[in-house]
Amino acid sequence: MTGRATVVTGVGLAVTGLRTAADLLSTDPVEPGAGPSPDLTGRHMRHKDRASRLALRAVEQALDDASLAAESTGREHTTLATVVSSNFGNLDSVCEFTDRIAEHSTAALSPLGLPHVSSNAIAGWIAIRHGLRGPNLTLCSGRTSGLDALVWAATLIGAGRADAAVVVGVEPDTGPVRSLHGPGRRVLDGAAAVILESEAHAANRQAIVRALIDGGCHSDSVDQVVAAIRTAARPPRLWLTPADVLPEFGSPIRVLDLTRRLGECSGALGVLQCVAAVAQLDGGDRNPVYATCSDPHGDEAVTLQLRAPHAAASVSAGSRVGNHELDLEER
């Protein structure tokens, strides 16, 4: 993926019905409207769409978790990038503006509200709120978008464009999103955030490393990932992947599909998977954890591997992002 090792030093979660990252590993049903809701109040939350408010809450937790909040010692010497993954994030703002144009013409629009319809609005609010002056971008690449965002963040760090990156996956449960998915289709209402850093930067500030990202691969199908896992010298105990494109695996590996509990996660899925993988490693798992996102037809799959920082051996993907080969053998 890059020439510099990338590590996870913080995670944050703002998902209706969940309290902690470890809750992602549970199979208990999350009933719509039940359980705790993220606190989206405060002056900095005003005049923002729901996706931006969810993302801001998750980022706040992740920065605190990584000891990279604005008041943290040494933060002023850190260049932080912002990478957001969301396919439907500010759809409600876009629909509101288009409805207003249809009813009253463009003369009814307020110039102050136009920035809200930009697909990069969420990333912009995050950077403004926390003073993040590094590269700032948003990915809207479908179901693989969350893992794509993590790969892009690692690439920015590896290229020396940033010391660390705030990676956010967010999808809101709003009227326009529900209408787009159709009646009876459950959708995620929440955000997940991950702090990535170069290994050297984390060591210099004596940060607690929660996980190492060992590789990112694009493959033509989930079948290629299945074949690689079957022959891996050190197979995972946990594989995070949507089950609707997964063939029968027939092994003791636990396959966890977050969409079964949370609904359609779209662009947030990959970042949620990363947070769940960190929770698994926090629990003492020494084996790598795999996260895979794929399109609904299974024509493309993106896979990341995460491992505990103190694991005895490194597990690395043999191909770089963009190749169509997968080699997950232990080195």
- What pLDDT band is residue 39 in, cutting at 50, 70 and 90? confident
Q: Which pLDDT belongs to residue 324?
A: 37
Residue 136 domain flag: yes
Domain interval for residue 222: 213-307
pLDDT at 152 over 70: yes
Q: Do 239 and 116 lie in a common domain?
A: no
Q: Do 217 and 197 lie in a common domain?
A: no
SS (H, E, C) the chain: CCCCCEEEEEEEEEECCCCCHHHHHCCCCCCCCCCCCCCCCCHHHCCCCHHHHHHHHHHHHHHHHCCCCCCCCCHHHCCEEEEEECCCCCHHHHHHHHHHHHHHCHHHCCHHHHHHHCCCHHHHHHHHHHCCCCCEEEECCHHHHHHHHHHHHHHHHHCCCCCEEEEEEEECCCHHHHHHHCCCCCECCEEEEEEEEEHHHHHHCCCCCCEEEEEEEEECCHHHHHHHHHHCCCCCCEEECCHHHCCCCCCCCEEECCHHHHCECHHHHHHHHHHHHHHHHHCCCCCCEEEEEECCCCCCEEEEEEECCCCCCCECCCCCECECCCCCCEC
Range in 6-20, 171-185, 232-246, 312-326 the model is least confident about: 312-326
Q: Do 112 and 253 lie in a common domain?
A: no
Number of domains in the chain: 2
- What pLDDT band is residue 67 in, cutting at 50, 70 and 90? very high
Residue 330 domain flag: no
Alpha carbons within 13 angstroms on the beta-carbon side of residue 176 total 18
What is the sign, positive or negative, of the torsion defined by CA atoms of 286, 219, 275, 156?
Answer: positive
Strand partners, 304: 216, 291
Contacts of 105 (CB under 8 A, 6+ apart): none
Q: Do 36 and 177 lie in a common domain?
A: yes
pLDDT at 173 over 70: yes
pLDDT one-digit tens code per residue, 198-225: 999 999 999 999 999 976 677 777 777 7
Q: Do 69 and 189 lie in a common domain?
A: yes
Question: How many Å separate Cα 243 from the centre of its chain?
Answer: 18
Q: Which pLDDT belongs to residue 45?
A: 75
- Average pLDDT taken over every residue of the chain: 82
Residue 331 domain flag: no
Q: Do 194 and 300 lie in a common domain?
A: no
Q: Which pLDDT belongs to residue 4?
A: 66
Residue 312 domain flag: no
Q: Kindly state the tokens that stand for 246.
A: 């997964």
Residue 262 domain flag: yes
pLDDT at 328 over 80: no
Range in 56-65, 121-130, 186-195, 306-315 the model is least confident about: 306-315
Q: Do 221 and 143 lie in a common domain?
A: no
pLDDT one-digit tens code per residue, 84-98: 999 988 777 776 767
> In the predicted model, what is the mean pLDDT of residues 230-244?
82
- What pLDDT band is residue 74 in, cutting at 50, 70 and 90? low
Of 141 and 252, more confident: 141
Q: Do 12 and 110 lie in a common domain?
A: yes
Q: Which pLDDT belongs to residue 294?
A: 84
Q: Kindly state the tokens that stand for 136.
A: 């700032």
Residue 321 domain flag: no
Q: Which pLDDT belongs to residue 99?
A: 67
Q: Do 123 and 27 lie in a common domain?
A: yes
Q: Do 186 and 284 lie in a common domain?
A: no
Q: Do 96 and 197 lie in a common domain?
A: yes
Per the CB < 8 A criterion, the answer to whether 252 and 263 are in contact is no
Residue 168 domain flag: yes
Q: Kindly state the tokens that stand for 222.
A: 């989930």
pLDDT one-digit tens code per residue, 260-275: 999 889 999 999 999 9
Which residue type occupies 15? V
Residue 114 domain flag: yes
Q: Do 80 and 22 lie in a common domain?
A: yes
